[in-house]
Structure 1
Amino acid sequence: MSGNGQAPARNPGLRERKKARTRADLQRHALRLFRDRGWEATTVDDIAAAAEVSRSTFFRYFATKEQVLLHDEVDPLMAEAIAAQPPGTPLLTALRRGVHEAFSSLSDEARELEEVRMELGRTVPELATAAGRHYTVAGLAEPLAHWLGRSPDDPELVVFCGVLVGGRLAAQRMAERDGIAYIDALDSVYSRLEDGIPLADTPIPAGGS
């Protein structure tokens, strides 16, 4: 669940569903091109041509090429899966299950392209800055506070969101180091955190290092 991720409050109408399909189709073709040609080598015209739409149609859905990367099709799926967890489920467990269920619902290609999107969001400087705004403590605290009926400034919620942000950074490093999918690394991190913060209770050695 990102800073703007919340479960839909209503079922969209036909027009909204058609727009959503067009937006998703544009992003899918864009991600394929980014994967095969690279970010810099892919233009808006390339994306429009691959999706068989006009350049003006592209700009009705995305103001820039960068916005194609920042648009998150999976986040609403995660929000729905998290909200659907049984009452009484521990919060971190609900988040972990929600992430797992959302990504498990994707086709193999959709999951691969989502990994492409997330990797570019981490490695392209101008994208990393924009994407990072969604994964701050404040960005995560707002939707969780609304869901839990707490204040976004609740100290316990702020600390919890800080742990989530740190977990994402740890997952990025694990994915890069071990050559595994980021989402699998994130699941591993959340699994460890379910047992408590690693090393938090470990006594420090006598006499220092």
Structure 2
Amino acid sequence: MKDGLRARRKALLRQEIQAHAMRLFQERGYDETAVADIAQAVGVSSMTVFRHFPTKEDLVLSDEFDPALAARVQAKPADQPLLRRIGDTLVESLAQTPPAELDMLLARLKLGLATPALRARWLDNEYQTQKAIVDALNDGRYDEFHLQVVASACLAAATTALTRWAESGGQDMPHELLAQALGILQEES
């Protein structure tokens, strides 16, 4: 019971830190906001912030998306084509994201697109997501390179759709843009 409570408190503190960080980044700018400013806003030490987010970039880019996505992809019927299996999972995940989390995602995307240091880290995040998907699907049915190519294509479509969504100020539904992007991939194959 204590471990469950401790984990919930840790998750809530992590969310609070990230929310304050995003607010300060939006108000002051990413480069103009120090980790100490974020810690002060939350009422914790800078070390506590770094315990939850090892780098300043992690305050924007870090989330719990990869493990959940990998589990959902793995749970899809194995007889589905990989592009559909991965793509449908991405679309469903976005469609089921609560509005408050979509707002946070939009803010993170806008900040990431506007900040060169964050754009550079984006590639690493996409690689980690690709790796999580490949690991989840690597059951011997496909060559690992095959899995990497399909996962990367789906993630490229997702990045393009989410970038369009952020650049439009969140006017469209992100899962609809993603479905459209994946449809273009399927038309071209």
With the shorter chain as reference, the TM-score category is 0.7 to 0.9
Aligned to 1:189: 181
Report deviation, 1:141: 4.9
Query: What per-residue deviation string (whole Å, max 9, x for no partner) do you get for residues 104-163 of structure 1?
Result: 444322211112213323331112112212324xx4553333222149963422432342
Decide which of 153, 158, 162 is 1:163's aligned counterpart: 153
Q: Distance in 2 between matches of 1:94 and 1:43?
A: 41
2:131 aligned partner, one-letter code: E
Which of the pair is proportionally richer in helix? 2
Give the TM-score normalised by structure 2.
0.74
- Can you give the 5+ residue segments of structure 1 that lack an aligned partner in the other structure? 1-11, 201-209
**In the TM superposition, what are the counterparts of 1:143-154 in structure 2 within 5 Å?**
143-148=132-137, 149-150=139-140, 154=144
Structure with greater Cα Rg: 1
* Distance in structure 1 (CA, Å) of the matches to 2:96 and 2:72: 10
Deviation at 1:189, TM superposition (A): 0.8
TM norm structure 1: 0.68
Whole-angstrom CA distance in 2 between matches of 1:131 and 1:37: 22
Which of the numbers 6, 10, 20 marks the counterpart of 1:19?
A: 10
Alignment partner, residue 205 of structure 1: none
Identity fraction in percent:
30
1:134 and 2:125 aligned: yes
Aligned residues: 184
Which consecutive residues of structure 2, in runs of 5 or more, have no partner in the other structure? none
TM-aligned CA deviation for residue 177 of structure 1: 6.4
CA positional deviation for 1:27 = 0.9
The 5 Å alignment of 1:100-119 reads 100-119=91-110
Deviations 1:5-25 (A, max 9, x none): xxxxxxx84433332222122
